Amino acid sequence: MSSVGCCAGGVAAAGPADEAGEELALDEGVAGPALGGAGDGRSCAAQPANASAALTTAASSLVLLRNGNLGTLRGMASVIVVGDGPGGLSAALFLAKNKQDVTVFAQNGSWMNSALLFNYLGLPKITGKDFMAIAKQQVTDLGGKLVDAEVSALSTSADGFTVQASGKSYQAKYLVIAMGTKLEIVKGIGLPARAIEADRNGRTSVENAYVVGWATRPDKIQAIISAGDGAAAALDILSKEAGKDLHDFDSVD
């Protein structure tokens, strides 16, 4: 079972039926695994003594759906990701998995292609090139698009953002900047060309523009941190579209 849920009052919320009419519930006294609210960053903790009452109270704000299908979203949001390193691909993966229209622009220039990873949790040893190949396959398998083109200009528009690449224009409601430290083009949307400031969800000072990885952490960065940044940005976008904080979680059953 795949589910997407929100965190209310710091307690995992069980709630109403999903789109198939099946009741979804969490075991009483057990909180969901690290269900952090995208809005305030709080985590859910188990409340054995009063879990049932807490879950009932929280149910009204729950979004808990199956198979990564956010049926309550207002529509398929368009998202452009500039950069195909761990941060950009992580954002694209979460968005594509949840049926969002996401396009990644890059030319396979990530430093990961020359890396050998010993410090990525869950992976004993892997070359950066193999890691990137697997990550890109994950994104495309779930419906994300990879465009081998250099982005030459960014600008804001009435509907969000305009991206110029290979002589063509592309429109998107959301923009995720994940292109390392070569950031001159972000001046086109009013952001600085180094160390772009962002909150813990990757939000910048420009509405619906996010930044992840080296572009916001130029001095202290690792692949696993970039991937986490990308996931946080994607969950924030999904939460905006749903109007509720979301959690993307799949279980073995």
Quick check: is 251 in a domain?
no
CA distance 86 to 116: 14
Mean pLDDT in the chain? 76
Q: Tokens 């495309």, residue?
A: 140
Q: Tokens 């109007």, residue?
A: 243
Pair 126, 45 in one domain: no
- Give start and end residues of each alpha helix (H) in the chain: 51-58, 86-97, 128-141, 223-242
Give residue 22's domain range.
1-67
Q: Identify any residues that bridge with 117 across adjacent strands, giving them in sequence order.
A: 126
Q: Which residues contact 202 (CB under 8 A, 6 or more apart)?
A: 176, 210, 211, 212, 216, 229, 230, 232, 233, 236
**Which CATH number fits the domain that encloses residue 124?**
3.50.50.60
Local structure of 89: helix, strand or coil: helix
Q: What is the pLDDT of residues 9-19, one digit of tens each?
A: 333 333 333 33
Q: What is the pLDDT of residues 49-95, one digit of tens each?
A: 444 444 333 333 334 334 444 444 455 689 999 999 999 999 999 99
Quick check: is 147 in a domain?
yes
CA distance 33 to 31: 6
Prediction pTM value: 0.71
CA distance 199 to 196: 10
Q: In total, how many domains does the chain have?
A: 2
